[in-house]
Amino acid sequence: MERLLRILGSWALSMIRRMGHMFTFLMNSFYFVFVPPFKFNLLLRQMRFFGNKSMAIILLTGSFTGMVLALQLYYTLRKFGSDALLGPAIALSLIRELGPVLSALMVTGRAGSALTAEIGIMRISEQIDALTAMALNPMRYLIVPNIVAAIMVFPLLAAIFDVIGIYGGYAIAVKLLGMSEGTYFSQMEVFVDMEDIMQGIYKSVSFGVIVSWVCCYKGFYTGYGAEGVSKATTEAVVMSSVLILIWDYFIGSVLL
């Protein structure tokens, strides 16, 4: 029993230590966000990395999510005689919940993993040490541009996901299931408020921080060799995805 408690205690202490280390890393990054010199070129490059390169996957998943929602919700709402509410149901689901969450998960898989691998390879090939040895702060060059880029790009990607999803739903509801175009869009105008849109934006911004923070941290403190980078990449994707879902619940319950 004592041994079990000791193992549990040691595990808990190690978890607290690791969380503290991660949190210090994030606070350090935020500090350099506000301290010049600012690296605008690197910021633009990372915005392209997160945004432009994730566009295809966002368009694809967004459209299919909207289509699936339309199909499922249509049959459910029809049972209650509320099929006229299909448009707002799709829009609200996407804007408040599915757009921010699914787009963040997609970007984690596409860009987050690549980011961890890139920073991890820079670590094991001593490129990060080279920056430090040149008296240049690696946080400013590698971490800050990614965190700021993610904060700016995640809401935009979620917005694109929402719009494409709504049009995916439109294709199924109007073109396939024969719903009137006017009903689909006009009801949406009635039910979707600015507050719903803001909730989606708040979520996306926080997901941007989570994904860039976790992926940068895991790459920055990667283990040795190719195996270390591979392990860091897997951990970054899993941890980011889990944190997105957990944080989504908490922020959702606060904002509701």
Partner 1 sequence: MIEVIDLEKSFDSQKVLDGVNLTIFDKELMAIIGKSGGGKSVFLKHLIGLLKPDKGSVLVDGVDITRLGTKELDRIREKLGVVFQGGALFDSLTVYENVAFPLKEKTKVSKKEIQDRVMQALEDVGLWGMEKKYPAEISGGMKKRVALARALITEPQIVFFDEPTTGLDPIILNSIHRLIVDTHNKYGFTGVIISHDIPEIFDVADRIAMLHNGVIVEVGTPDEIKNSFNPIVRQFIIGMEVPSFKP
Q: How far apart are CA 12 and CA 193, in angstroms?
A: 43
Among 60, 130, 245, 246, binds partner 1 (CB under 8 A): 130
Of the ranges 15-23, 60-68, 81-89, 126-134, which one interacts with partner 1 (CB under 8 A)?
126-134
**Between 8 and 136, CB nearer to partner 1:** 136
Residue 53 · residue 110 · CB < 8 Å: yes
Q: How far apart are CA 150 and CA 29, in angstroms?
A: 13
Residue 92 · residue 192 · CB < 8 Å: yes
A 10 A CB-CB count for 111 gives: 25
Of the ranges 19-27, 134-142, 144-152, 236-244, which one interacts with partner 1 (CB under 8 A)?
134-142
**Between 57 and 121, CB nearer to partner 1:** 121
**Between 125 and 180, CB nearer to partner 1:** 125
Residue 10 is a binding residue for partner 1 (CB under 8 A)? no
Residue 5 is a binding residue for partner 1 (CB under 8 A)? no
Q: How far apart are CA 152 and CA 47, in angstroms?
A: 8
Alpha helices (runs of H) in 108-224, residue ranges in sequence order: 113-124, 127-133, 138, 144-170, 181-191, 194-220
Q: How far apart are CA 47 and CA 83, in angstroms?
A: 40
Of the ranges 62-70, 95-103, 124-132, 241-249, which one interacts with partner 1 (CB under 8 A)?
124-132
Residue 126 is a binding residue for partner 1 (CB under 8 A)? yes
DSSP 99: H
Of the ranges 72-80, 89-97, 122-130, 229-237, which one interacts with partner 1 (CB under 8 A)?
122-130
**Between 129 and 193, CB nearer to partner 1:** 129
Q: Which residue has tokens 């860039």?
A: 212
Among 133, 194, 254, 256, binds partner 1 (CB under 8 A): 133
Q: How far apart are CA 108 and CA 207, in angstroms?
A: 10
**Between 45 and 78, CB nearer to partner 1:** 45
Given the rule CB under 8 A, which residues bind partner 1?
A: 121-122, 125-127, 129-130, 132-137
